[in-house]
Each structure stands twice: as C-alpha cells, then as structure tokens.
Amino acid sequence: MGLDGSESTIARDAAVAVFGDRVEQAERFVELLAQHGVERGLIGPREVDRLWDRHILNSAVIGERIPASARVVDVGSGAGLPGVPLAISRPDLDIVLLEPMARRVEWLSEVVAELGLPTKVVRGRAEEKAVRERLGVADVVTARAVAPLGRLATWCLPLVRRSGTLVALKGASAAEEIERDRDDVRAAGGGEPRLAECGVGVLETPTTVVVIERVGTRKPAPGRRRPGTRSR
C-alpha cells in the first residue's frame, strides 16, 4: 500500500517528513505487511487499511527520543514495530530486533533482507540471562504492546546501560500505568517514568511514550536474599 493509497493526505505528508528520501523503503515495508501480515499472524485484518497512521509512522517518530548513533534493542519486535520503521528513518542507529517466536524471527529476517537494512535479528526473550549476556547493554531499549509497564521495566532495564533509557510505546492508559507501576519500575533500577509525545506537529495523533532512565540495578524482592549471601 503506497502513499497514493486510501490513507489521508496528512499521512502522506507525514511519511515524507519522517522518512525523507527513504520513504520508498517504508512503502515497501507497508506493502509486505499488507500482503503477508494477516496470514502470518502479525497484524489483525482491520489493521491493513491503517498501517501508515497506526503502525509505521507511530513507530518511526519515537526516533525523537533516541540520540544519534545509539545502540538500540527492540524487545518483542513481532511484526517489526517499532524497530523496522525506526531503522528506516534513522540509518545512524545500530538496531537489534529481539523476538522469541520462531515464525516472527523468520519474518523479521526476510524483511531486513528485502529492505537491505543493516539490522540484526535475534531470537530470545529479554528476561533470559543467556540473551542478556549475548546482547550486552544498549543505549536505548524500545518496546511496543509487549507488557504492562512494571513487568516491562523488569524485563528491559537490565538491557539498558546506566543513564540509558527504556522508551515504551503506550496508549491512553499510560498515565495510569505510571501511577500503578512506579514502585516496580524503581525496583527494576529505573528512575521516575516520564510521559512524552512524539510526532507533535507531524502526526494527526502523536505517539505516546513512557521514558524511563536506568539509574541503578534491580533490587531483590522483599524477603529474598541477595545471591551469594548467607541467611542468619
């Protein structure tokens, strides 16, 4: 589905503004999702007609929150969101797409090859020790529709370097999640969660994100001993 398809003029203008001379790569990704996304269980049937607004542009604009030449791990990449649009719009970034499901890893590998993106695809879960050791730490970790904020912070912050950030794409309930999960975020080594919008003035509906800086290490749950300590 190209930019001259059924979506709005606003979306077409936004795509050019966000992707610049790489807009054809973005169009090709949309075509791939429209052709294969439903049959491969990546998107729902109702999403095909709103791929640009709801998924592609919504994902790409979070690049506003990512510094130049950063190393980024996209946790639970799934259909490639937000990682693939981010890789297209920000070729300066070193991006890893992390996904646990084999059939989605296969899809992501096909997309990366088709689009000629210098993006690495890794199968695994962020909470797995072996995966964390393999990946090391990143400047930024992204996630979209993966888990509630507290659980997400527990999984993702160990992949973030000190003073790096977790950028989580969230919906209308973002403020409620912050209030509910603030203690869990802190226990995971995160600072105060900050609500922000990306794509203001570019998108008809800006993308809501929660930004969490890693300020410390994960704290053990109450009543549990730290590894390597003896009980008295």
d(CA 32, CA 13): 21
Q: Which residues, at least 6 apart from 56, have a Cβ–Cβ distance to it below 8 Å? A: 15, 26, 29, 30, 81, 85
DSSP for 92-156, written as a single string: TSEEEEEE--HHHHHHHHHHHHHHT---EEEES-TT-HHHHHHH--EEEEEEESSS-HHHHHHHH
Encode pLDDT of 61-112 as tens digits. 999 999 999 999 999 999 999 999 999 999 999 999 999 999 999 999 999 9
Query: Residue range 43-51: average pLDDT?
Result: 89
State residue 10's pLDDT score: 56
Contact 180, 212 (CB under 8 A): no
**Which single residue is written with the structure tokens 């639970």?**
76
| Structure-block tokens of residue 221 | 């749950």
Look up residue 130 and give its amino acid. A
| End-to-end C-alpha distance for the chain, whole angstroms | 65
Q: What is the mean pLDDT of residues 51-61?
A: 94
**120-132 pLDDT per residue, tens:** 999 999 999 999 9
Query: Domains along the chain?
Result: 9-213 (3.40.50.150)
Residue 164 has pLDDT above 90, yes or no: yes
- Enter the pTM of the model: 0.89
| pLDDT (0 to 100) of residue 232 | 30
Whether residue 201 has pLDDT greater than 50: yes
Reported confidence tier of residue 222, pLDDT bands at 50, 70, 90? low
